[in-house]
Amino acid sequence: MGQHGGVATRILTVEDDERIRTSLRLALEDEGWEVEESSNGEAALGIFRRNPPDVVLIDIMLPGVDGFEVCRSLRRISNVPIVMVTAREDTHDIVAGLEAGADDYLTKPFAPKELSARIRALLRRVRTAEGPIKNFIFADLEVFAEEGVVRRGAEEIALTKTELRLLVELASRPGRTLSREVLLERIWGYGYFGDSRLVDVHIRRLRTKIETDPANPRHVVTVRGEGYKLQP
Amino acid sequence: MAARVSLRLRVSVAFGLGALVLAAGLSLITYELTRDNLLTRREDTSLARVLFNATQVSRLIDDETTEEELRELLQNLYTPLGARPVIRFGDLWLSANPVEFSEPQIDPLLKDTVAGGRAAQMRYVVGETPFAVIGIPYFDINAAYYEAAPLDDIAATLSSLLIALLTGSAITVLVGIGIGIWAAQRAVRPLTDIGEAAEAIAAGDLNTRLEGADPDLERLSRSFNQMASALQDRIERDARFASNVSHELRSPLMTLTASLEVLRKRQSDLPVRSQTALHLLSADLEHFKQLVADLLEISRYDVGAAALETEDFEILEFVQQAARASGQSPLLTHSVHAAGLVVRADRRRLAQVMANLLENAHNHGAGATQIHVERLESTLEIAVIDAGPGVPHEDHDIIFDRFARGRRQGPGARAGGTGLGLALVSEHVRLHGGSIRVTDRGDGQPGACFVVALPLDGQ
């Protein structure tokens, strides 16, 4: 279950509360993941540089460098899947975490099984509902889906896996509108009532990367009351 | 408390009454002055003419004058403006126009006065025409001269004047009321500003303050702003407290949840007694987690930190998802107009509303049998119907109170639910500007019907 490409998947948990950290490690190891612990942001960044994990789990409220900052620092050097953990259902915290680069978030207390499901969804290969996708060209972008590379001319655009999946999902039906619910299910694996802010913030991040004028998007378009669509 | 008339109405009425008194007074004076003036002038000219005519007559008659001569004399008198001369000669009354004015039309009082040897004048109405009648007695012969001058032209002038004055007064009163309304509005505008600020604060905009208030109301606006600041401080402190409580409660629950999961994985290794304890622990941890979640959610309302986060979505699709998520399979029905309807609402909160209603149906009504979506003129109604025992009528109002379930079933009963589910439903729906009610099923079958009504403004 926790196997990823034959090797056990490593999760780095960044959590200052020792009891939570230990209990999470036990539970996650039961789920089959290999767990590395860190009690603060600086240590986590050090571990990441020495031996990058497959997934990072970051608590927002950390002493010293807070979770948002750790997330931003990681994003500057990596596209690793990041799950934010918050103890408050505060919109501001959640949106700020997603803006900082988190792929998904969970609110304490969550079931370790739920966390495993989230991690598995993030680690899934880039593919659409119809199956694996080929490389394609969209507007002035060349998308190498398997390699996870997007190029505009000679410039390489670094997309996270979630952003790439969003792009690929929208591109698989150009001109057709996909609702937030469909995107939540296909990309994040939420059956019911996923948080539509996940989609909105990721769409925003995708726009800042691939649109020439992100404030007036020409390609990733909002359809009011329905969802999003991609147009050339 | 007796119903108070609004300040604005009172000021307007006062201005209206003032204008009425002023206009009526001026009109009355104008009317009386004009009337006196017109009548006096007319009487002056009449009197001069009557004296002239009376002198003419006195010169031409004596005891021997015949009736024929008198008639001729009457016809030859100068009578402009339709004046009607009448002569008494002994017992003989002669009139120039017997049809229009003759002896019987002369007031007896005037006759008596003239008969007494004094000239006199009277104004009265004959038929519909007002007349000024003047009588002159003769001393050397038994005769008198009367002349009636019709005043109908003056009456017409006066009635035109009266209409003009009444119209003018009415306009003045209306203008007065208009000025009153305007002045009252000007006067209460600072109060309107305060009212709007208070409403904004009540609606959640805690940063609202009064600025540039009228100098007369400075003290009021200063204390209003102080009150608003104090309120804001308190709400923010409460919200911070709730947020800290949230963090402090969730952290140990996280450890408990993760640790219990580790234990559950190994429950078959545990002795039976430990397994039983583990089950109890698991069940109550779930209950406790839900209770904490509901308490934190409802405390946001108590500290005024609950704000809608709206988005547009299709309501039928949403209801379908909610039903699927609950694991129940109620019949989904809707009115024709609800098809494809996109609403703007707080999806997360509405999802909780549906989940709690469905859970309630599960705990107390053997599961929902039907969910009906009805689009009315300006509201959307979602009815969740079950086939359980229904809700007794005396509980219809209190069922949405917090922990109402405990009161009804007595302490000790803890079958499912936190006791906050329906209270949260009510709060969420109210935050949307909607309402929730519970009724019997319309079809006579036993069961409860919870109806959520949401406003469809501007959709």
Q: In this structure, are residues A198 and A104 in contact, taking their beta carbons and an 8 Å threshold?
A: yes
Closest in B251, B262, B324 to A27, CB measured: B262
For the domain that residue B52 is a member of, what is the CATH number? 3.30.450.20
* B287 and B316, same domain (yes or no): no
* pLDDT higher than 50, residue B459: no
Burial of B99: CB neighbours in 10 Å, binned 0-12, 13-18, 19+: exposed
Nearest chain B residue to A110, by CA: B254
Q: In this structure, are residues A25 and A139 in contact, taking their beta carbons and an 8 Å threshold?
A: no
Nearest chain B residue to A29, by CA: B262
Q: Report residue A130's pLDDT band, with 50, 70 and 90 as the boundaries.
A: low
Residue B419 in any domain: the answer is yes
For the domain that residue B388 is a member of, what is the CATH number? 3.30.565.10
> What does the pLDDT read at residue B236?
81
Measured between CB atoms, does B274 come within 8 Å of chain A?
A: no
Domain that holds residue B369: 311-455
Q: Which of B159, B179, B207 is the last residue of a domain?
A: B159
Q: Residue B392 gets which letter from DSSP? A: -
CA distance A90 to chain B (A): 9
Q: Do B321 and A193 touch (CB under 8 A)?
A: yes
Q: Do B250 and A23 touch (CB under 8 A)?
A: no
What pLDDT, in 10s, does the model give residues B101-120? 888 888 888 888 888 888 88
Please give the Cα distance from B281 to B287 (Å, whole number).
10
Share of chain B above pLDDT 90, in %: 29
* B327 and B434, same domain (yes or no): yes
* B37 and B113, same domain (yes or no): yes
Residue B435 in any domain: the answer is yes
Q: Which of B275, B302, B329 is the last residue of a domain?
A: B302
Residue B210 in any domain: the answer is no
Residue B176 in any domain: the answer is no
Q: Do B311 and A192 touch (CB under 8 A)?
A: no
Please give the Cα distance from B165 to B171 (Å, whole number).
10
Domains and CATH numbers, chain A: 3-123 (3.40.50.2300), 127-230 (1.10.10.10)
User: Per DSSP, what are the bridge partners of residue A83?
Assistant: A57, A104
Measured between CB atoms, does A6 come within 8 Å of chain B?
A: no
Q: In this structure, are residues B377 and B338 in contact, taking their beta carbons and an 8 Å threshold?
A: no
Cis bond before residue A109 (omega within 30° of 0): yes
Q: Do A224 and B312 touch (CB under 8 A)?
A: yes
Q: How many domains does chain B have?
A: 3
* B17 and B138, same domain (yes or no): yes
What pLDDT, in 10s, does the model give residues B291-343? 888 888 888 887 777 788 888 888 998 999 899 988 999 999 999 888 888 89
* B237 and B142, same domain (yes or no): no
Is the pLDDT higher at A226 or at B449?
A: B449
For the domain that residue B247 is a member of, what is the CATH number? 1.10.287.130
* B281 and B322, same domain (yes or no): no
Measured between CB atoms, does B254 come within 8 Å of chain A?
A: yes
Please give the Cα distance from A48 to B92 (Å, whole number).
142
Measured between CB atoms, does B308 come within 8 Å of chain A?
A: no
Mean pLDDT, chain A, integer? 87
Identify the CA nearest to B249 among candidates B206, B296, B281, B204: B296
* B136 and B259, same domain (yes or no): no
Residue B128 in any domain: the answer is yes
Measured between CB atoms, does A192 come within 8 Å of chain B?
A: yes
* B283 and B354, same domain (yes or no): no
Residue B451 in any domain: the answer is yes
* Sequence-separated (6 or more) residues with CB below 8 Å from residue B87: B57, B70, B73, B74, B93, B94, B143, B144, B145, B146
Q: Do A193 and B257 touch (CB under 8 A)?
A: no
Please give the Cα distance from B261 to B279 (Å, whole number).
11
DSSP code string of B82-118: G-EEEEEETTEEEESSTTTS-GGGS-HHHHHHHHTT-
Q: Do B313 and A225 touch (CB under 8 A)?
A: yes
Q: Which of B253, B269, B302 is the last residue of a domain?
A: B302
CA distance B365 to chain A (A): 24
Closest in A30, A87, A196 to B265, CB measured: A30
* pLDDT higher than 90, residue A37: yes
> What does the pLDDT read at residue B458?
54
* B444 and B335, same domain (yes or no): yes
Q: Which residues on A lie below 8 Å from B347 (Cβ)? A: 193, 196
* B258 and B281, same domain (yes or no): yes
Nearest chain A residue to B307, by CA: A91
Residue B117 in any domain: the answer is yes
Best residue of A1, A15, A19, A106 to probe chain B, by most B CBs closer than 10 Å = A19
Nearest chain B residue to A109, by CA: B254
C-alpha dihedral (B4, B7, B13, B14), degrees to nearest 10: 110
Give the pLDDT mean for A21-32: 95
What pLDDT, in 10s, does the model give residues A70-99? 999 999 998 899 999 998 777 888 899 999
* B262 and B406, same domain (yes or no): no
Identify the CA nearest to B420 among candidates B303, B300, B294: B294
* B20 and B154, same domain (yes or no): yes
Residue B363 in any domain: the answer is yes
